[in-house]
Structure 1
Amino acid sequence: MRFYRFKYLIMSLAVIFISFLCINLSANADQKNVYDLSEWQGNFTSAQVQQLKNEVPFVILRVQYGSEYSDRTFQHNKNLLDQYHVPYGVYSFSQYESVSDAKNEARVLYNRAPNAKFYVNDYEDQTVKSGDTNDATLAWLNELRSLVGNKKILFYSYQNFMLNYAAEAISSYDGYWLAAYQSNEPERENVLWQYTDHYYSPALGKYIDSSLLTSKKSSWFIGNPTVVLHTKYYRDNQTLMTKSSFNEDFYNHVVSDNKYMNYLKITSRGSNNRAKTVTTDCKAVVGGKVFYRCYYEGKYLGWISSDALGPHISYSKANGTKNVKSNPSNNFYNHVMNSHFKNINMTARGSEYANKKLTVTQKAKKNGWKSYYYKCYYKGKYLGWFYQGSFK
């Protein structure tokens, strides 16, 4: 992947002959090989891209070297891949020096390639000068996740580097793209194995880096291109709450609606609109996933998935006592169940207070519900929120 490979040169030479004889078969037969390409392969031609479509299930393009250097061929080659419907993922050769720098590199990568099928953090050069390398690597992931939603985000490196600098952060990534120039598949778990930098591509007429699909099929990376999701829209007027913690943004269109894939843009940052009361006027259902068009205090926010939303809850005072049933089916929680709060945890077991008389000080009702939750105490001890159905 890098333009210099001195660390792997000896290993690479040792396996070139094996790779050529045993693995360098026509990719059209099984499409197990995946190429990663950069400006070092030059600008593609239309004829090359049309042939490339029959050699590989997808390619991976370098977008940048750090945040400041943009690959000179990316835009040209990406446009041809789009024209001939060749799926592609993208990678950034990381040069981040701190947590904030890592976040910036991730944002720049997304802005340069917002329609990529998946994204890769190619971290194989230790450049972090401030803070922990794991923290920076995790920050890169989290920043990108807030932009790309459910698209896969991979970590690329060779094993020794990963263990030294990203052993903790890698577990949060969707998969490991392992660089190991050897004839046998490494024991280390991976979703892609880069086994050679000397694979001959008939389409490109060059020797290039190549990886093999291992534990995942191509559809895991790029989705299933044969499946066309149909979106249904409905009028839907609700009052909801954005959750206290979610990693999505609001968009001008439903992100899963194929018709608008090339026109998507962020209309409002989710991080600026957490734990807010929003109204909706339209609902969309696509592939079983639900999205809402949202407004805050009359201002348009955009479309967001139901994963980022919870029911709006009305709170009011409640003075008195209530008796728990003999066999209560609910437990006590620190917040109303399924509300917008980040951490909702059980605070006490309902069965431990069977037939007990509790003091209630507040009640809460979800929009559209007729039943209440009550904030409960027993002999002055705070128990938590308890559902009305478990009272006598």
Structure 2
Amino acid sequence: MKKQPLLKRLITGAFVGLAFLAIGATGADAAKTKIADVSQWQGSINWSKASKQLKMVIIRVKHGNPGDSDYAIDTKRNTNANGAYKYNVPFGQYDFAEFDSVADAKADAKQFYSLASKNAKFYVLDNEKRKSGVKGKEQTYVNAWLTTMRSLTNKPIVYYSYQNFVSVHSINYSKFDGSWIANYSNKPNVSTDLWQYTSKGSVSGISGNVDLNKVVDSSTVSSWYSGSSTKTAPSYYTSVTAGQKVTAKKAFYQYTTANFTGKLSKVSKGKTYTVKAIAKSTKGTPRIQLSNGHYITANKAYVMVK
């Protein structure tokens, strides 16, 4: 075989090497398809192995508040955060909350934030357990927790719960930067960006079962950890002409009043209605009144008026 000149062989080899690295990187990225949430119950995670499959991970920080009978700070919160960070797995952290007062919700948020890793890309309120005696007040506590977190960070803040809890307690989580809803039988029938679909998943490097999640709204979920989006003040329609059409860009609900009381039927993404006028809540937030007399959000992130 005739030998190539040395320089030509070096250049050819360099291109082959770069091509190999490019293919290898593409293959590695393609393998990162799983999104898991973990806590101390997963034991010691081999992050070197897990990182080869995990596109993103959500790590527990604590459960409840001091004084709660089941209060606990997750013993693996720092180990898991450091492991994910070391192996370049984007991660958020979650707070399993059990509110029983506005003060409790505010204190919970402050403690959660103080315990969370500075490398967390986003924060999650895990709101799935109700203490006795707080019926009808869940929304007030959720709002207090969110307001407190907003005062502490400009990173995305996500709402998590089970489909049934959201429905039973009529939780409005539209002011969060996204939603993460669990339902193990079917895709949630409430608005969600990330769907926790099983508690019996598997990930290389994690012993036993692990919760796994599917992306429903890729642009929203990616914004939690990519840094491509931070919370901005909502932009509202402040004037409309009777007879115009409004189309839902996301799912939300209709209400009987401009203060969003009297929850009615769900508005599905893509649904179109006829506009009557702009109204305002008692706090001055613009709402769209429909020709049927019902009220919906005027937030341009949720609706488009033509």
**Does the TM-score normalized on the shorter chain lie above 0.5?**
yes
> Does residue 155 of structure 1 match 2:191?
no
In structure 1, what is the equivalent of residue 145 of structure 2?
140
Inter-partner Cα distance in structure 1 for 2:107 and 2:117: 15
Distance 1:137 1:216, change over 3 A: same
Distance 1:80 1:33, change over 3 A: closer
**Relative contact order: is structure 1 or structure 2 higher (C-alpha 8 Å, sep ≥ 6)?**
2
Contact 2:42/2:207 (8 A) holds in 1: no
Local SS of the residue matching 2:55: coil
Distance 1:27 1:200, change over 3 A: farther
Identical columns (%): 34
Local SS of the residue matching 1:81: helix
1:368-391: CA deviations, max 9, x gaps? xxxxxxxxxxxxxxxxxxxxxxxx
Inter-partner Cα distance in structure 2 for 1:80 and 1:30: 19
Inter-partner Cα distance in structure 1 for 2:197 and 2:122: 20
In structure 1, what is the equivalent of residue 44 of structure 2?
43
Inter-partner Cα distance in structure 1 for 2:161 and 2:227: 27
TM-score by length of 1: 0.47
Inter-partner Cα distance in structure 2 for 1:79 and 1:91: 15
In structure 1, what is the equivalent of residue 103 of structure 2?
100
> Does residue 55 of structure 1 match 2:53?
yes
Distance 1:216 1:92, change over 3 A: same
Query: Which structure 2 residue ranges, 5 or more long, are not aligned?
Result: 1-26, 67-71, 234-283, 285-306
Contact 1:137/1:166 (8 A) holds in 2: no
In structure 1, what is the equivalent of residue 123 of structure 2?
119
Shift of 1:163: 2.3
Name the count of aligned residue pairs: 201
Inter-partner Cα distance in structure 1 for 2:114 and 2:193: 26
In structure 2, what is the equivalent of residue 66 of structure 1?
64
Contact 1:175/1:190 (8 A) holds in 2: yes
Contact 2:163/2:189 (8 A) holds in 1: no
Inter-partner Cα distance in structure 1 for 2:177 and 2:82: 27
TM-score by length of 2: 0.59
Inter-partner Cα distance in structure 2 for 1:50 and 1:75: 16
Shift of 1:213: 1.3
The amino acid that maps onto 1:132 is K
Q: How does 1:307-346 map to 2 (within 5 A)?
A: none
Shift of 1:216: 2.1
In structure 2, what is the equivalent of residue 75 of structure 1?
78
Inter-partner Cα distance in structure 2 for 1:124 and 1:27: 35
The amino acid that maps onto 1:33 is K
Aligned with residue 201 of structure 1, among 203, 224, 229? 203
In structure 2, what is the equivalent of residue 211 of structure 1?
213
Moved over 6 A (4+): none
Inter-partner Cα distance in structure 1 for 2:152 and 2:60: 19
Q: How does 1:169-188 map to 2 (within 5 A)?
A: 170-182=173-185, 184-188=186-190
Q: Could you say which structure has the larger radius of gyration? A: 1
In structure 2, what is the equivalent of residue 33 of structure 1?
34
